[in-house]
Amino acid sequence: MTENTQQTPDSAPELPTQYAPAAVEGPLYERWVERGYFTADAKSDKPAYTIVIPPPNVTGSLHLGHAFQHTLMDALTRRKRMQGFEALWLPGMDHAGIATQNVVERELGKEGVSRHDLGREAFTERVWQWKEEYGGKILGQMRRLGDGVDWSRERFTMDEGLSKAVQTIFKKLYDDELIYRAERIINWCPRCLTAISDIEVEYQDDDGELVSITYGEGEDTLVVATTRAETMLGDTAVAVHPDDERYAHLIGKRIKLPLTDRSIPVVADTHVDPEFGTGAVKVTPAHDPNDFAIGQRHGLESMTVMDERGVITVHGPFLGLDRFEARSAIVGALRAEGRIVAEKRPYVHSVGHCSRCKTTLEPRLSMQWWVKVEPLAKAAGDAVRDGKVQIHPADMSKRYFDWVDNMHDWCISRQLWWGHRIPVWYGPDGETVCVGPDEQPPAGEGWTQDPDVLDTWFSSGLWPFSTLGWPEKTPDLEKFYATDVLLTGHDIIFFWVARMMMFGLYAMDGEPPFHTIALTGLVRDQFGKKMSKSSGTAVDPLDWMNEYGSDAVRFTLAKGANPGTDVPIGEDWVQASRNFANKIWNATRFALMNGATVEGELPPAEELSATDRWILSRLNAAIAEADAYYDDYQFAKLTDALYHFAWDEVFDWYVELSKTTFMGGGEPAKVSARVLGEVLDVTLRLLHPVMPFVTEALWTTLTGKESVVVADWPKDSGFRDAGAETEIENLQQVITEVRRFRSDQGLQPGQRVPAKLDLSGTSLAAHEGAIRQLLRLQPAEDGFHATATLTIAGATVALDLSGTIDVEAERKRLAKALAAAEKDKAQCTAKLGNEAFLAKAAEAAVEKIRTRLSKAEADIERITAQLEGLPKG
RNA sequence: GGGCGCAUAGCUCAGCGGUAGAGCGCCGCUCUUACAAAGCGGAUGUCGGCGGUUCAAAUCCGUCUGUGCCCACCA
């Protein structure tokens, strides 16, 4: 596109007038990786800064939520790297037990093969193959995003080293009696055919029906209400409240269980709410957690009536029926016997579903492995209470405490094949042996290993240290543990964060896995609604990256990152960020065309113009502000501040003001070129962690240096110049006001107007050229006749509009402004006349009002003068 | 049933005790030493309702309404 390039001086490189991210980003990323910028050195003398990535599922692909969190983690590590830390951002993947097994099973299903046809060994082999071929798509996408991760340290939770970590900690917990095996009611997925833990259950309100059934015969009857009639086959008691007089006469008696030849006892238990339903509860210890507890208290038998697929196993008319078929069949049979008292009633209640496949879960009595969480959770809570670990934003810690302080034991065994197999062998005489990583499993006749694998979160709980080589005392572990920040969504505080805390403190002798937990919100669409694949509102971030560039996507995400709150994002906003990238591009292009440079020392302040001192003062303030926001994980404020500093102050005002200087040429132009070079250099470095690509392309061009990735992070020199800031603010006011006047007068922006300036009473004399340039004011020639005279900040601007002035429009505008100023004056006067205010208000507040008052008075004077200066109409 | 949060411009959100803000959108006018993905100017809000504290409240307290999320063994 040759017509798209502009002629530039020989020395300046030619840049197209529009930033084309696609051409720039890919090669830059590969160059960074080749040069090893992201590879951390455990032997380095620099202080370490470590973030481990929340390992995406091996089955996953990049979605906006990843893009969001990755942007923030990348920004944090990039900045720390620039600040001179040995920064490590460690990537990797999670084997994601159930999720992956399901994917591969589905694949096999297409070939008409089940995993059982293959057998365990061949099946897991198949999963590994699948992993090699299709897994880790997201890792490639991370390159596109610009993630500066250390690829040499990429880990997978099923790696040999990490598997060893799993076995090591299992053994340690087992030996410390923090892991045990017990038969309990667990959440069972009849489709995945495995137990899942409490937090893997998704509750939703389902429509059910409450049916009332008469139990017993003759005098000894009562009515129970249930939504799960099919489990009555396994009832081993009816429970009533001990104080419930309606049933007092039945307590201790046995009554007949309908449809069976069994009779069951009536027991008294305070768990029963006499207000609910009929106040009598059927008790099925093998199929309901509450009933199981009641069974324990009363020594009841547990009768399992369904198999692992939810099919009735009790001999009789219902044998072989699926649980839902059985439900209606049993209700039908009861009705035939006249035992359905009232007609069934629609009833909405919360039902657990498998978080992986959405199947309705079946509580099931079964033998599983458990982690005794109490001591671990206590330590995890204390670490935050003691301030060893900080949670950002702080109010999220309440949620964390609620969880760790009330945690139930964690069911860790899964009836799956894909995962870390439980390192326990059972002997022929009922022995149980837990095998450590360096031990041989017991050999000989009759010994078998537990067939189950561990919950996928068991291994991810070790992630912050297993990835660094634990249980070996590796240099990596020494250097990079504890990690600095754990940045993740608040949706996995319990799944992952709490588990890492427990395991980290336990395995690393009380040293927590990270010092800071930075919790982010979830990404939403532009109306704040959840994005979902099914409704088609989910966006593939790659589409946006392809169209607008990765920097634009990243900047937009960071701009939405108010701590802990959800992040809405719409395509319009990505466009706005793309525009910002383009603005940076063009501003730098302009600078290069005018010889902007970073060569040579910056002249001392006393040799600089007020404009230069002003921008350098603002620049250093911007550095300080950026640092404060970075340190506080305030990405929305950070990006907002940088956006406005760069666009408004540098690209609009400073660049526009500098044009006059450049046109003048000579030494001032050289100084300006140096200052502009400095300002851009720093601004690009400040933006680099969030927008790595444009900034790299421009910064290397501007400075001729190797890469901004390894540049120093800007330091606030402490330079501030309040005088220059005031001066430029006045200048801005003069320009803005005259522009408004021009606009109100219907003058076209480019139209030149003869004008006389009187800047004698101000500090703006040096800016006359700039004022004339920016306001398109021509020198006054013979016959100049001022038709409008504006007085702003002590400066007088007389314009000759040759009789074309719209006096009425101007009078109206001024009258409005005058009214506003007078109102302001009145407000301030009232305040300053208020003794209570003067007595109690802070000095700064009073001073502010005084300033405001004097400004209002000046405005009134100015506007009055202008009104008087208007031609009589 | 418990807990937490949110209600501010058409939309998405900042501000959290001293003159109501941003981005996008909207209305004018413009190719002007980079950038029309731009420039300049403009309009737009009883800061959810009602009470209270205060010299001063979008900001603190109470209450109501609406809304979102988390937790819980709602037969």
Q: What is the pLDDT of residues A370-398, one digit of tens each?
A: 999 999 999 999 999 999 999 988 888 88
**Cα separation of A604 and A606, whole Å?**
6
Phi first, then psi: what are they for A725, rounded to 5°?
-65, -45
Q: Categorize the per-residue pLDDT at A526 as very low, low, confident or very high, splitting at 50, 70 and 90.
A: confident
Average pLDDT over residues A418-445: 91
The confidence score (pLDDT) of residue A97 equals 87
Q: How many percent of chain A have pLDDT more than 70?
A: 97
- Name the pTM for this structure: 0.91
* A833 in contact with nucleic chain B (CB within 7 A): no
Distance A361 CA to B7 C1' (A): 37
Do strands A179-189 and A155-156 pair parallel, antiparallel, or not at all (unpaired)?
unpaired
- The lowest-confidence range among A40-44, A139-143, A357-361, A418-422 is A357-361
**Cα separation of A359 and A354, whole Å?**
5
Q: Which nucleotide, over all strands, has the C1' atom closest to the CA of A210? A: B75
Distance A394 CA to B6 C1' (A): 17
Distance A667 CA to B6 C1' (A): 57
Distance A740 CA to B46 C1' (A): 30
- A376-387 burial code (b ≥16 CB/10 A, e <16): bbebbbebbeee
**Cα separation of A139 and A330, whole Å?**
52
Average pLDDT over residues A289-295: 90
Q: Categorize the per-residue pLDDT at A12 as very low, low, confident or very high, splitting at 50, 70 and 90.
A: very low
The confidence score (pLDDT) of residue A3 equals 34
> Residue closest to B32, CA→C1'?
A750
Average pLDDT over residues A725-746: 91
- The lowest-confidence range among A115-119, A455-459, A524-528, A636-640 is A524-528
Tokens of A495: 């799944």
The confidence score (pLDDT) of residue A261 equals 87
* A355 in contact with nucleic chain B (CB within 7 A): no
* A854 in contact with nucleic chain B (CB within 7 A): no
The confidence score (pLDDT) of residue A836 equals 87
Distance A610 CA to B22 C1' (A): 28
Write the DSSP assignment of A707-747 as a string of letters: -GGGSPPP-------HHHHHHHHHHHHHHHHHHHHHHHTT-
Q: Categorize the per-residue pLDDT at A444 as very low, low, confident or very high, splitting at 50, 70 and 90.
A: confident
The confidence score (pLDDT) of residue A80 equals 97
Give residue numbers, 515 to 534 of A, with CB < 7 Å from strand B: 524, 526-528, 530
Average pLDDT over residues A611-629: 95
* A276 in contact with nucleic chain B (CB within 7 A): yes
Distance A572 CA to B11 C1' (A): 11
Per-residue pLDDT tens for A810-826? 787 788 888 888 888 88
Average pLDDT over residues A239-265: 88
Give residue numbers, 568 to 587 of A, with CB < 7 Å from strand B: 568, 572-573, 575-576, 578-579, 581-583, 586-587
Do strands A86-90 and A48-52 pair parallel, antiparallel, or not at all (unpaired)?
parallel
* A736 in contact with nucleic chain B (CB within 7 A): yes
Stretch (H or E) spanning A486: strand A483-489
Q: Which nucleotide, over all strands, has the C1' atom closest to the CA of A231? A: B75
Stretch (H or E) spanning A364: strand A362-371
Say yes or no to pLDDT of A535 above 70.
Answer: no
- The lowest-confidence range among A90-94, A430-434, A682-686 is A430-434
Say yes or no to pLDDT of A732 above 90.
Answer: yes
Contact A475, A43 (CB under 8 A): yes
Give residue numbers, 49 to 78 of A, with CB < 7 Å from strand B: none
Say yes or no to pLDDT of A9 above 60.
Answer: no
- The lowest-confidence range among A165-174, A400-409, A629-638 is A400-409
User: Which residue's structure tokens are 């991210």?
Assistant: A21
Cα first-last separation, chain A:
56
**Cα separation of A498 and A514, whole Å?**
12
Average pLDDT over residues A68-88: 96
- Say what the alpha-carbon torsion angle A555, A557, A560, A565 is, to the nearest 10 degrees: -150
Say yes or no to pLDDT of A5 above 50.
Answer: no
* A845 in contact with nucleic chain B (CB within 7 A): yes
The confidence score (pLDDT) of residue A803 equals 61
The confidence score (pLDDT) of residue A23 equals 86
> Residue closest to B11, CA→C1'?
A527
Per-residue pLDDT tens for A27-72? 999 999 999 999 999 999 999 999 999 999 898 888 888 999 999 9
Top-ranked range on mean pLDDT: pick from A152-156, A276-280, A536-540:
A152-156
The confidence score (pLDDT) of residue A343 equals 64
Q: Which nucleotide, over all strands, has the C1' atom closest to the CA of A19? A: B37
Give residue numbers, 769 to 828 of A, with CB < 7 Å from strand B: 824
Average pLDDT over residues A529-550: 83
Q: Categorize the per-residue pLDDT at A536 as very low, low, confident or very high, splitting at 50, 70 and 90.
A: low
> Burial, A666: exposed, middle or buried (Cβ in 10 Å; 0-12, 13-18, 19+)?
exposed
Say yes or no to pLDDT of A346 above 90.
Answer: no
The confidence score (pLDDT) of residue A534 equals 65
> Residue closest to B73, CA→C1'?
A290
* A398 in contact with nucleic chain B (CB within 7 A): yes
Average pLDDT over residues A174-191: 92
Give A42 or A789, the one with higher predicted confidence: A42
**Cα separation of A677 and A154, whole Å?**
39
Give A636 or A526, the one with higher predicted confidence: A636
Q: Which nucleotide, over all strands, has the C1' atom closest to the CA of A838? A: B55
Give residue numbers, 170 to 199 of A, with CB < 7 Å from strand B: 198-199
Distance A733 CA to B17 C1' (A): 30
* A18 in contact with nucleic chain B (CB within 7 A): yes
- A269-298 burial code (b ≥16 CB/10 A, e <16): beebebeebbbbbbbbbbbbebbbbbbeeb
Q: Which nucleotide, over all strands, has the C1' atom closest to the CA of A591? A: B34
* A752 in contact with nucleic chain B (CB within 7 A): no
Tokens of A112: 């008409």
Positions of strand B less than 7 angstroms from a protein CB: 3-5, 11-14, 18-19, 22-25, 28-42, 54-56, 69-75
Mean predicted lDDT score pLDDT of chain A? 89
The confidence score (pLDDT) of residue A804 equals 65
- The lowest-confidence range among A90-104, A199-213, A234-248, A427-441 is A199-213
